[in-house]
Amino acid sequence: MSTVLYITAHPNETEASYSLAVGKQFLEAYQAANPNDDIVHLDLFKMDIPRLDADVFSAWEKLGSGTAFNELSNAEQTKVARLGELVDQFVEADKYVFVNPTWNFSYPPVLKAYIDSICVAGKTFKYTDKGPVGLLDNKKAIHIQASGSALSPGSDYADFEIGHRHLDVIMKFIGVPSFEAIFVEGMAAAADQARQIKENAIQQAWNLARTF
């Protein structure tokens, strides 16, 4: 049995989101193919995700120099403990499904905050004399991203897109060997084709879910 983290970064409900609608279909297909797997939904807009701020950096510095956890300030303890929970949950899972819209060629800031919480030395990567090495080499990930314009590799505006490309870099950095993408794109540029674009993405989601 595998544990899947279904990670969504959209403030709206499924009915008002192309990415969430495709993600929902992906989950249904995945559950049909893997009825015994455990799926955990992380709605990032409804979660406590500490930002990396002065409290966090201060706490990490103190802990690194030998200060006991209970000697940290209340704010430092709360934030560092929560960040620890998030990265431990990520490490313990087997598969990841990231779902988000495109905002200004990237993903919503809350997803960046989550990524910051799971990129932790000793947990998801380690430093070596040859540079950093990812530790999650037995995981799989899929990215479902929607955008009003076509931004996927090969499109005219692919060079503008930095959300999926950044997530791809992060997956490589932490060692995830399998990372696939479903782009739900072009609905604003070709409004008359929006329904077909969505249906094509759903079909792709169903196909990928059966082998994920």
Please state the residue numbers annotated as binding site for FMN. Answer: 17-19
Enter the tokens of residue 182. 């479903």
- The phi and psi torsions of 123 (rounded to 5 degrees) equal -110, -55
124 Cβ contact partners less than 8 Å away, ≥ 6 residues apart: 87, 90, 91, 118, 134, 135, 136, 174, 175
Tell me whether residue 154 is exposed, middle or buried, using C-beta atoms within 10 angstroms of its C-beta: 0 to 12, 13 to 18, 19 or more: exposed
Distances (CA, A) of 194 to 107, 120, 183, 199: 21, 39, 13, 9
- Positions at the binding site: 17-19
Give me the sign of the Cα torsion angle 170, 174, 175, 180: negative
Contact status, residue 176 vs residue 133, Cβ threshold 8 Å: no
Instruction: For residue 208, give the nearest of 72, 25, 48, 78 by alpha carbon.
Output: 25
Strands (E), 17-85: 38-43
